[in-house]
Structure 1
Amino acid sequence: MQKLMIITSYFPPEIGAASNRIFHLAEGLQSDYDVTVVTPLPNYPTGKIFEEYKGKFKVKSCENNVNIVRLWLYASKSKNKFVRLFAMLSYSMSLVWFFVWNKIPDKVIVQSPPLLVAFTCMFFLRSKKRKLILNVSDLWPSAGFELGALKQGFSYKLLQKLERFNYKSADLILGQSNEILTHVSKITSKPQLFLYRNYPNIKRTEITKVSMNNEPLKIVYAGLLGVAQGILKLCKELNYNNIEFHIYGSGAEEEEIKLFIKNNKNLPVFFYGRVDRANLHSELKKYDIVIIPLLNRIYGSVPSKIFEYAKLGMPMLYFGGGEGENIINDYELGWVAKAGDYNNLNSVLKKIDKAELTLELQQKVKDVAYENFDLSKQLILLKEKL
């Protein structure tokens, strides 16, 4: 069987869209390839090596017929840019060491961002005999600039050069959105381009919950509590007249959100922390709608939660703009509020009639998802490109 390697900075047991995407990709390819995933020791989003991996330099395992090699890195979630840079450099150094002492297959899929890690792979693995596939989930450094995490200057221009090098070194680029593929095509015409959405692999189940009209509208957010999502600001800006806001997850804003709830006990805001994915799907059934927010509209970004929640039959309120907004509207998956406009968000919430949240609506959302967001069909098309 032909060998294929996937190099990523995120992989289960870490949580989040990136780790889930790569897990499903590896799982989907293992029937046709001998798949090896190279990834750091688990540390995201806590910024600390998970307890069972502490003190280890390299861990090898086989899970679901996928070979997994976990390499050392200096784990950190520091806001200091130099500490973050060192953390990325540490994984890049581990990768170079791994490349030197191990035979690398002729097909390699590289996750980007982080740009520096992707650059390390694209630079050291270049070969006429090897096919390099770049899986682009976000457009860095431009996404970092839009989030306010990066400023234009020398370092920004350097990151742009790394970005261009990565695209031009790839034979095939998998983009999570049409906006990403459009951006890449403006930089280089060399690689083939393939739209590869972050579709989840969820077994179909029956919908049983129907909303009670005499209760407040129960809104839930589940996921990373980072800068991009802006959940702390959302807590502060929501109009709580006849709504409840329930939060699941962990990340950089977690402690601030807890403090906000502690200082505003009169508000119906509830925090439950991190819940594993299987239990989370069960928990979500308690709520009326899920909210998918982005602090700022990020060009190229399409939150994977759209596809996951749709398959669960959950109506959505999307608050992020861009291509994600189009998907919600085109497939009639819920409601849309103007990105960054909290007055409009509250206005949309006020207009949501709980009488509309029927079993039929939930079933319609689920049917649309299973018809249009099919991971297995997407993998078949991808295998033809590899």
Structure 2
Amino acid sequence: MSKKRILVISQYFYPEQFRINDICAEWVKRGYDVTVVTGYPNYPKGEYYKGYGWFKRTKQRWKGVKIIRIFLLSRGHGAVRLALNYLSFVVSGFVWAFTTKIKADYVFTFEVSPMTQALLGVWYSKRRKIPNYLYVQDLWPENVETVTGIHSPLVIKPIRRMVDHIYKNCDIIFATSESFVKEIRKRLRVNKDRVRYLPQYAEEFYKPVEKRSVPEIPDDDSFKVIFTGNIGQAQGLDILPRAAQLLKNENVKFIIVGDGREKDNFLGQIEKYGVKDMFVMIDRQPAERMPEMLCSCDVAFLSFADNKLWRMTVPAKLQSYMACGMPIIASANGETKSIIEQAACGVCSELGDAKALAESIIKMRESDIEKMSENSTTYFFDNYEKKKVMDKIDIFFK
């Protein structure tokens, strides 16, 4: 019997660090023939990775996955350049979808912003008359309004029509939170049950490791709060320098591992509040290093900017933190808060409330964080373990 062929559409792929990398590698292990259509890697800094760029390394193999890179303008800096980045992938994808000779049995689009990339899956699946699956990580047009601040009907209505068109032409729509499922179902006129909840998992290398010193992190007796990942507008990290100012007389350090478009602004906030000595900034690291960095600290932190959309969002780092058995401090409401409280693995404070966050950190320092650590791991294996999540997708590839 020949292998089932999965065509994956994802604007971001290896060496960029997104979970779709691991999903594709797992499909190869499960016996599928996997081809990924993606762009030139440039996330999160907005600059092409070394060795990549205009028409360089357009075809690759990685862990058995065939990679096809179509033209993509780098993100650069500023809203106009970002819009051109989104547009370039769609234009390149339109040409590719209607000219490629590659055949597949299924299309699977991994949708983090921009949603526009899902058009490639629609075009290709219609041409080949095959099932089209969509995995929604970012809700549009809500994400556009939240991130850009644009609410004009002249902009939002066309985006909404595009999203409706994409949803209409998907056989199954997976969504990363129960709240997303409800919102998407509201948009559908028929077959609402084709929207399915599919939580994110953490790669298998995310697991508790023995606490040990890491060169980049001070080996002292401070209470260490670590954040890993993208430093962007959505993460709402501006709350940390404000909370740190309130904790200047406490032995607390904030370990920030990552990079992103808002990093310079974040560093400016640290300077503004006079808390530079309380922060350790570490550049983006390979994902495989995250467990040792997490487990060298006391608690892990996540937050959002204060917005309705983020209350419906469950960030991928929550699963990664839980898989490593990390107690969690969160400045979050909505579904993320509900999960942390249900798991009894941490403390949540109100979005944007620096005073409440500072109090939460003190509370965590005096709590039974070992018990929270155990709860975190238990909840992860009960709800987000990789095999369980992948098996749910597998049902639709038979």
TM-score (norm 1): 0.90
Deviations 1:219-248 (A, max 9, x none): 111110100012234323432241211111
Residue identity in the other structure for 1:347: E
Mapping 1:156-235, distance limit 5 Å: 156-188=156-188, 189-190=190-191, 192-203=194-205, 207-209=209-211, 215-235=221-241
SS at match of 1:51: coil
Distance, in Å, in 1 between the alignment partners of 2:26 and 2:146 is: 33
Q: What residue in structure 1 maps to residue 217 of structure 2?
A: none
CA positional deviation for 1:266 = 5.7
Identify if the C-alpha distance between structure 1 residues 313 and 343 changes in structure 2 by more than 3 Å, giving closer, same or farther: same
Counterpart of 1:246 in structure 2 is 255
* One-letter amino acid of the counterpart of residue 286, structure 1: S
* In 2, Cα distance between equivalents of 1:275 and 1:286: 15
Q: Contact conserved, 1:143 with 1:299, CA < 8 A, in 2?
A: no
Question: Contact 1:38–1:69 at 8 Å: present in 2 too?
Answer: yes
Cα gap change, 1:235 to 1:12, in 2 (>3 Å): farther
**CA shift in 2, pair 1:229/1:382, >3 Å:** same
Give the AA of the match of 2:337.
E
Indicate if the aligned counterparts of 1:225 and 1:254 stay in contact, CA closer than 8 A.
yes
- Report the CA distance between 1:128 and its aligned residue: 7.8
**How many angstroms does 1:147 deviate by?**
4.0
Per-residue Cα deviation, 1:126-165 (whole angstroms, up to 9, x for no partner) = 2583101111111111133234543232101111111111
Q: Which residue of 2 aligns with 1:333?
A: 345
Contact 1:110 1:134 (C-alpha < 8 Å) held by counterparts: yes
Percent of aligned pairs sharing the same letter = 22
Letter in 1 for 2:323: K
The yes-or-no answer on 1:257 pairing with 2:266 is: yes
CA distance, structure 1, for counterparts of residue 209 and residue 262 of structure 2: 33
Q: Provide the C-alpha distance between the structure 1 equivalents of 2:356 and 2:368, rounded to a whole number of angstroms.
A: 20
In the alignment, the residues of structure 2 paired with residue 308 and residue 376 of structure 1 have an alpha-carbon distance, to the nearest angstrom, of: 15
Inter-CA distance 43–355: structure 2 relative to 1 (3 Å threshold): same
> How far off is 1:320 after superposition?
2.0
How many residues are aligned here? Answer: 378
> 2:118 matched to 1:118?
yes
Point out 4+ residue stretches in structure 1 off by more than 6 angstroms: none
Per-residue deviation, 1:57:
5.0
Q: Shift of the alpha carbon at 1:95? A: 1.3
Match of residue 71 from structure 2: 72
Unaligned runs of 5+ in 2: 214-219
One-letter identity of the residue aligned with 2:191: K
- Unpaired runs of 5+ in structure 1? none
**Corresponding residue for residue 216 of structure 2:** none
Match of 1:374 in 2: 385
CA contact (8 A) 1:139 1:299 kept: no
1:363 aligned residue: 374
Please name the residue that 1:98 is paired with: 96
Q: CA deviation at 1:293?
A: 0.6
Structure 2 length normalisation: TM-score? Answer: 0.88
RMSD (Å), alpha carbons: 2.4
